[in-house]
Amino acid sequence: MPSTPTKTCRLGSCSARATLDGYCDRHKVNRNDTKRLYDRYRADDPVRALYKCKRWKTVRLVVLRRDVLCQACGHQAATEVDHILSARLVLDNWGLDEFYNAERLQGLCHRCHSSKTTHESGWTGKRGTTLSDLGDRSNTTVVCGPAGSGKTTYVGDHKAENDHVFDFDVIMQTITGLPMHQSLPGAVGSVLAQRDQWVEATKYSTNHCWLIVSNAKAAIVDMMREAGAAVVVMDTTDDECQRRLRQRFVEETLE
């Protein structure tokens, strides 16, 4: 009977034999030290104290009664309450009352909440996504182009009535309240998390899906293309994009 091959430490540069948790004895100690430091930081974090008061417990119940199902995946029960825009950004830009505003909160399942936190904490690295297995995404068209290139107009002209659309700029505008094509520093992670959750939720959709992104070279675009999605890159010139943006600014200013 063939023997099971010896597994090495999960730290790529280490060839020592791993224990049950996947690390060698030396790196297991280092990993535990890192975790202890992180846990100590979390314990001293003043923002975490805001989640322990009666006001948070009250609004948490309000949100979970409102959002019975996870607002990201739509099929798991919502068990955790999340700030749509990260809690620290809400505190820094709108203050304590908005931190407890139920309209800035949503119910999520544990998996979706963890994935969103990964984005907001910057743990996705250069890939900018937590997704790996996209399955067959032939039901999706990805439309890419800079601000003012006409992405939203293109999708509006080609989509059917019941198609699903994710527009990065629209989501950013919705959760920050800023004008179109303006972003709040630190908010990108929250929007990218919503994008990943949308991609996951529409995996088996029988309606066509449209993903609108700015960067045609983003990792998610390559992943979607490899999974069978169509990719449309807008060929609008930079001068035309700038002209459209200036015109839009004038129209919004005069309203």
For the stretch 89-116, pLDDT in tens is 899 989 999 999 999 999 999 989 988 8
Are 115 and 130 contacting, i.e. CB atoms less than 8 angstroms apart? Answer: yes
Q: For 180-194, b where at least 16 C-beta lie within 10 A, e where not — what string?
A: beeebeebbbbbbbb
Q: Report how far residue 165's alpha carbon sits from residue 156's, in angstroms, rounded to the nearest whole number.
A: 9
18-67 pLDDT tens trace: 776 566 766 665 555 555 554 554 555 678 889 989 999 999 999 999 99
CB atoms within 10 A of CB 133: 8
Are 172 and 245 contacting, i.e. CB atoms less than 8 angstroms apart? Answer: no
Q: DSSP class of residue 181? A: T
pTM of the predicted structure, to 2 decimals: 0.73
Complete domains list, the chain, with CATH: 7-44 (no CATH), 58-123 (no CATH), 140-254 (3.40.50.300)
Rg (CA), the chain: 22
